[in-house]
Structure 1
Amino acid sequence: MVETITDVRPFTRVKDVDVEMTVVKPSAIIGLGNLLILHEVDAGSSSTAPKPALADTGTGKDTPAKSDTGKTTGTTDGKATDDGSKTINVPKITPVAPVTGVPDKLEPNDVLNGVLSRKTDPYTGAQYVEYATADAVGAYYDKTDPIYIKSDNYFMQEAASDRIAVLNYPKGKLADALKAFWYYNWAFMIFDKSQFTDTTPSDDAIIASNICEANKDHFLVLQATQPAAYVTFYAQNYTIGLIHDLSEPMDAALIGATATLTVGLVTWKFRKLKGITADQITVQEKSAIDRVHAIAYIEVSGQGETSEGWVLSGDYIDSLHGDLWVKTNMGDKI
């Protein structure tokens, strides 16, 4: 085992200033406009996992790719000493099978289909997958699946990125799953399914919102049909609330149309969204939406446009997104 020697100081040089830096956490790797779709996988359901890729076995027949979940990875039980006097217990990590049932290793068909990467968190089984196109998503999800519908609309927008990510997480493990993949290549997240029962938000929606609020470097976008749904999220700086019919993915459309554009040169208000029907609303309805700082897609002078560009606290998305851009780029240059 390699030991850390602590009784030797670094060499000095003839100058008046010594600079010491401590890295608190790794530099964030963030696609500042990239989108992540959150998908809860029920352990008792067999219809939510993407179809496994087929591997060429050399026999001329395609067979399902074998999972590598039986391999032991990570650390094992044991003891190690750091300076000859203290003993460190190293816990054993028992890998958890990916909730999708699909191994991380990309097979040739995965690459051909447009899968960019696949990674499983060994602690929870949550699996993060990046796809290059809507067709790539469609190779693993049915065309009626909300994941495909939102991906398809996202790539329909003019400012869509070159990828979209899906995080498949076990029920009750959203916080752990997000912790595992927080600094991957995305900055905005949405759920594949509605997170409201009438106007009551789900536990996962509250958890995701609070995590964004604590870290201040990612955004959650929610979609509901009633302004009252956002009362729980009042004053959240990193949660964006949309009001629109749930049959249309306004959340994916808004991110695809706006998030990758040059920060500081674009407003999130007046955005035009492809594939989204503009709502005709009354003055009273707009006042109710504005009161909770939500955003609607409304018809104005015969054209559709987003009604506002703010988060649920009333602060503006472009301002907070700009702060994130500055912090990320300064951190990278430092």
Structure 2
Amino acid sequence: MQEPQSGPDRRMFLRASAVTGAALTLGGLSTQAASAAPGGFPDYTYVRTLLTPSQLKYNPTGEIIFPTVRGVYDKLASPLGRYYLYYAPHDAPGGICLAHGNSLEGPFTEYPANPIVSNNWAPHYSVSHVSSPHVLWKEDTKEFWLYFHGENTTTRLARSKDGVHFTYDKAVLSTSMMPSGTTETSYARVFRHDLPSRGAHYVMLFMLNNTTNHRDICWGWSADGRTWTFDQTPLVRHSDVGAVNIGGPHLLTRDGSAYVVYNKDKESGGDLMITEVGADFSLRRHLGVFYNSRSGPPENGRSASPSFGTDGGVPYMIFEAGERLQGSIAVARG
């Protein structure tokens, strides 16, 4: 990474270059970082906006959400860039989209044939919208596994060898798999995480809504990433952390323990929060604010749906910045 010559970027570069501390894992990537946030994670600082709806060719609704970033330089022979950034509009028709770049600080270039997955995929489904893409690199099959929702009642799986062209697999989660009164099971992310006592190698974190219209974080486990068992009680309840709604969960691991980072709605402060759940998900230790949303643009008091990665040994968080369905995709550096 080229060293900035002056200004706040240089100060953040020097801080990042000087960090020392315990090894940590961000979405499966290890790095060294200064410990400032709860749980010993980096203290992330906003750098810049990466994607703004008005600047995109595919922009059916004027809003985009739920970024997922994946390093592909070590997985593909001829990638479009070192990093693939998946995102989507939420409102109908939605559409799973792709951008690519050579640095997590950008710039990212919109894939010209977006959306790569649409709301109509015959003969598998025809729905009002598809959204919330989360992509997992499946090492044993050398595939990119895309989890996405459409409708909000159903989370689906598609698979790809190149991260661009996907083949439909199956529905992996629906409201019928959860307690009576469940109305939404969506915004799922899947992570490689061993749970020996459950015979599982993957965990899924997702948002659940029910007839009370308060959203919680729930979870499930799987041996293969396709067939799932789901806990029937929330992993983190909105009332546990003084929120009206919580969502956008992401798993982080550090020093043998696991943590869930998630967003509060703007009514409840709009910050990213963190809860330690332990390596076996039996712990519930709420640690408070993970990332404090700034009042100014582009966050305007709300950050959500984080995705994590490293670039040149420096940790980054790519996230949804701004009011719900009015925001952009931004990047912060640890």
Shorter-chain TM-score category? Answer: under 0.3
Greater share of residues in strand = 2
TM-score, normalising length: structure 2: 0.25
TM-score, normalising length: structure 1: 0.25
Greater share of residues in helix = 1
